[in-house]
Amino acid sequence: MNRLVRYAPFLLALSVLARLAWAFAMPNGMNLVDLHVYVDGSAALLKDDLYNFTYSVKTPDFPLPFTYPPFAALVFFPLHYLPFTVVGIAWQLATMAAMFLLIKLSLGLMLGDDVAGTSRWTRIAMAWTALALWTEPVRTTLDYGQVNVFLALGAVVAIRSTRWWVAGGLIGFVAGIKLTPAITGLYFLATKRWKAAIFSAVAFAATVALSYLVLGHQAGTYFTTLLGDADRIGPVGSVWNQSLRGAMSRIAGHDIGSGALWIGGVVIVFALAIAAWRSLRRDDRLGILLVVQLLGLLISPISWSHHWVWVMPLLVWLVHGPDREALFTRIVAGYWLVTSVIGIPWILSFFQESIWLVSRPGILAWLGTVDVFGALLVYILAIYLRRRRVNLESAASRSREPDPRPST
């Protein structure tokens, strides 16, 4: 372990260079299809045609529409003035840097900045980043040119801030780019940061208002017609969709929609998330944030495998957290490490005849629950660890009590 930590900067540099070599050497390495959607889609603002835009140069079987809030188009708009190759390379490098910061700041949430800022822990963050670039969520984020790592970093920076207007403003801003970070508002509620929670909603409303002011009917199209339309985002039943709805649909053999079956599943997941949150130590900020973010990934209609970049802070929490010595913690950490490095959805994608077909053999359907099952394991682990702590404290208390039996 000490040798790994010592050579972490070299390993990170090697990993970054290998990742860039992969991007340029492989036929599809620099496709960056989602980055094309951001850049080319935002350029469609000039034609007053944002939500009729599709990108199909590299995806002829599934033309990709612009599925993000209109505020995202305003944020991405300046990028279309730059050569796409320049944007693509810069985006990849920035994503890798953001991944390192995400891991380092997650360590700071857990250990304190004084400890996490030391040379040893900085090198540990480098080692995790070197590995992260080859896990499925980060690998596919880099392949597609996705924005997920930046959004996760924004959420961590937000909750670290003690200023309610900074914390809430950041969450509102990133939720304006992509709705999924809005779930972070539950973290503010769970930690009784009422002002930050309220201001996050206010900041998000400001992004909506600005979108209407600048874009007019294009913003109206999104918020009145397209919002919540999972079919427009992509095939719910594809194995790449690792949400609760996707997993349940593949097991059922058809899209279960948002009816009673899905609602029942969401209620159970919410109950487990609340129980997990109540089981964590009050000062476990990273643990509470992970409970919230996993909930968001589970209940969203679509949670592509590249949305699960929270796996890396999760592994940091499991491997370096206060309960790292518990056998169950190590099992859960091993589960996430193996499945994310192997890339189970990627392997299963070779066995689905089409991304649009929901029905598949039972074994493939159940294997396709890999991330959902892993998230539920984390909730169960948190509940178990509380009971373990209570039992250990009770046993320690009994050992300190004087023996009531008379001495002989």
- Please report, for the chain, the start and end positions of each structural domain, with discontinuous segments joined by +: 233-394
CA distance 95 to 358: 32
pLDDT the model gives residue 23: 86
Q: Is the pTM above the cut of 0.85?
A: yes
Q: How many CB atoms lie within 10 A of CB 6?
A: 13
Whose CA is closest to 15, among 7, 343, 147, 121? 7
φ, ψ of residue 133 to 5 degrees: the values are -65, -15
CA distance 165 to 144: 33
pLDDT the model gives residue 61: 77
Give the contacts of 387 (CB within 8 A, at least 6 positions apart): none
pLDDT the model gives residue 367: 96
Give average pLDDT by consecutive 10-residue segment, the chain, 408 residues: 87 96 81 94 91 88 90 96 95 98 97 94 97 96 96 97 97 96 96 97 97 93 83 87 97 94 97 97 96 98 96 97 95 98 96 89 96 98 93 75 61
pLDDT the model gives residue 407: 57
pLDDT the model gives residue 398: 74
Cβ atoms of 108 and 286 closer than 8 Å: no
